[in-house]
Amino acid sequence: MSIPEFELISHHLCPYVQRAVITLLEKEIPHQRTYIDLSNKPGWFRHISPLGKVPLLKVGDEVLFESAVICEYLNEITSGSLHPTNPLTKAKHRAWIEFGSSILNAIAGFYNAATEEAFEQKRQELVDKFAWIERHWQGNSYFAGDQFLLVDAVYGPIFRYFNVFDSITDFKIFVNTPNVQGWRQALRNRLSIQQAVTEDYPEQLLMFLIQRHSYLSNLVHSKTGYFPVGAN
């Protein structure tokens, strides 16, 4: 199958965009990335995005939306699947991918929590979610052993948040999950995951966190003294 021309419509911080970028890189698919400001969406973007969200994948004159659909499509049109071959195992991987999306929702609650009490509830929710993975861990370097798969592409962007959170203080999210922590480090070392964001990602995320005006926003400033230009 010939590979069409791909353009990925992106946002610098979006973890769902990162899933698609990682898949493109793992599959060695040439592509162009176009970054937009989601707080000031271009008219052309609103015209082609039915949900008003990124990522979008322009495939020639066609447009795909939703990261899961994009990743599955990229996997299907190239050789060497990023899914297990066994149908039940593949279904379980897809279930853990959905679980990853629930972790992203919890992360959003974590950085948006307005009070210390709400913040602690979300922190504990994250601890509990990673404990679920720890209890069901059967991997090695990666989720299913030594082979990098699509489920790993999903969790790379999740763990990236905690690289920045760790620069604020130790929130003790992974204290009792050594296997998850090892997986986190293996993904951090993966070239496709490193290259899924721009070099200024940590600073952009810190600015974003401060602009939440949340409990974590105050921690960013008080613990690090960080107050990037443009934050108010």
CB neighbour list of residue 137: distance below 8 Å, 6 or more residues apart: 179, 180, 183
Question: Domains in the chain, start-ordered, CATH in brackets?
Answer: 6-76 (3.40.30.10), 87-194 (1.20.1050.10)
pLDDT at 232 over 50: no
Strands 56-59 and 62-65, sheet pairing: antiparallel
Q: pLDDT of 169-199, one tens digit each? A: 999 999 999 999 999 999 999 999 999 999 9
Per-residue pLDDT, averaged over 71-75, amounts to 97
Say what the pLDDT of residue 1 is: 55
Q: pLDDT of 77-125, one tens digit each? A: 999 999 999 999 999 999 999 999 999 999 999 999 999 999 999 999 9
Q: pLDDT of 209-221, one tens digit each? A: 999 999 999 999 8
Of the chain, the percentage scoring pLDDT greater than 70 comes to 95
